[in-house]
Amino acid sequence: MARKLFGTDGIRGKANQEPITAEIALRVAMAAGHRFTHGEHRHLVIIGKDTRLSNYMLESAMQSGFTAMGMDVVLVGPMPTPAVAMLTRTLRADLGVVLSASHNPYEDNGIKLFGPDGFKLSDSVEEEIEALVENGLEDHLADAASLGRARRLEDAPGRYIEFVKHTFPRRLRLDGLKVVVDCANGAAYKVAPSVFHELGADVIPMAIEPDGTNINRNCGATAPQTLQEQVVAHGANLGVALDGDADRVMLCDENGQVIDGDQVMAVIARAWQAAERLRGGKVVATVMSNLGLERYLQGLGLELERAIVGDRYVLEKMRVGGYNLGGEQSGHIILSDYSTTGDGLIAALQVLAAQVETSSSISELANVFESYPQLLRNVPTNGAGEMENVGVKSAITAAEARLGDDGRVLVRPSGTEPVIRVMAEGLDLQVVTSVVDDIAGAIADAAAA
């Protein structure tokens, strides 16, 4: 069936506009509640959120929907996405919900669902939930005696802090290291500074005063400029920038240079290979990861396996192949020994563990490969089948020929926005820019035809 609600990472949209309205949130909760209520046990759902103003509305609507289906609800308040995934497992809940639009501004919001195993739902299960939303659920409501109850889990932050700390080697500490932590005025604004502080680091926290509208505003993983400045100003060893729900991370070294997800994966892959912890001889990334990472891993005797864009698809390949390291260039790093989804804090701690083990600076540790020039452009689309246009196909074929074996072209519709993403990389930036211009122009012409 054609998916109307769910995209590549749950349901996304503008707050208080379809599909991110109280009514749809209520119906999604009812549908998901019905889908996951099986057996005689008392059914439970965990609801976490980030700091967006609209989450007061969505949280209340989903709580109503779940209790109407007979599910008990545990509210954990602002908590990172990986914390909700962890709590869903440890509390033996039937379902976990995260209300967040990740790195987007506060006007946007989203609904992510996790199964009882802590993994994001498959496409097929999401399609079942969509069908239930459309077909109505009035015949499945709980009777008056079976309605659910709701309560708050006051110690949720402490549980997650301890969980994250236990992923850092017990023989190591962060004493003597200064870390700037940019919490994006988001879900990790309380827990992230505590993690580093309790492991011994001197912590300079940033963006820890959310007001409902300042999440990701000039801060966080997609806007690391202030973090870079603060790292240099404070003479810090490392900068850590999380996004709004803390499932992704960007780092910067002591010189203020950004370290993206590809470089983070390279650092962890090398450290884990040396410790004989890396399973399967592979790292899973997406089609967006840089060729420089692929060539670097080849030099280590490792292979890069690529998935389509979306951390859930990276994780699917990891689970099928039994691999324990994967991620995205954008900073979603999945370490399946510890977590069922991307976790920015755990990824940052693995880089710090490698630094402490080697007594090197972050710049020495992370500057292990030279990225190929890469350019990404978003071209607006009106859904008129631009990808099937003859001119667009010809432009892509010509671009691939120009780049040859030392380059790549990727053209794909976005799963979250009405745009087509055009990416190219190669040895020569001028050639890369030229081929992106050509493809983007062909798509714009097709959209206007």
Residues 51 and 192 in one domain: no
CB 409 within 8 A of CB 403: yes
**Judgement on whether residues 164 and 63 belong to the same structural domain of the protein:** no
pLDDT given for residue 3 in this prediction: 75
Residue 228 lies in a domain: yes
Q: What is the pLDDT of residues 376-385, one digit of tens each?
A: 999 999 877 8
In the block, residue with structure tokens 């009882």: 116
Task: Kindly report, residue by residue over 164-198, the tens digit of the pLDDT.
Answer: 999 999 999 999 999 999 999 999 999 999 999 99
Whether 1 has a pLDDT exceeding 70, the answer reads: no
Same domain, 43 and 141: yes
CATH of the domain at 149: 3.40.120.10
Rounded to the nearest integer, the mean pLDDT of the chain is 95
Write the pLDDT tens digit of every residue in 277-290: 999 999 999 999 99
Residues 45 and 86 in one domain: yes
CATH of the domain at 430: 3.30.310.50
pLDDT digits (tens, 9 = 90+) for 361-375: 999 999 999 999 999
- pTM for this model (two decimals): 0.92
Q: Which residues are catalytic?
A: 102
How many angstroms separate the CA atoms of 295 and 279, rounded? 19
The torsion defined by the Cα of 300, 289, 430 and 400, in degrees rounded to 10, comes to: 100
Task: Look at residue 40 in the predicted model and tell me its pLDDT.
Answer: 78
Residue after which a domain boundary falls, among 366, 394, 424: 366
pLDDT in tens, 115-147: 999 999 998 999 999 999 998 888 889 999 999
Spatial separation of the C-alpha atoms in residues 4 and 241, rounded to whole Å:
33
Do 262 and 357 lie in a common domain? yes
Task: Answer whether residue 28 is part of any domain.
Answer: yes
Structural domain includes residue 237: yes
Position 200 scores a pLDDT of 98
- Mean of pLDDT values over 296-319: 95
**Do 320 and 305 lie in a common domain?**
yes
Q: How many domains does the chain have?
A: 3
Residues 188 and 254 in one domain: yes
Structure tokens, 278? 């890396």
Residue 398 CA: distances (Å) to CA of 393, 432, 443? 9, 12, 14
Statement: residue 2 has pLDDT above 70: no
Residue where a domain stops, chosen among 323, 342, 366: 366
Its domain, for residue 444, covers 374-448
26 occurs within a structural domain: yes
1: in domain: no
Number of Cβ atoms within 10 Å of the Cβ of 171: 8
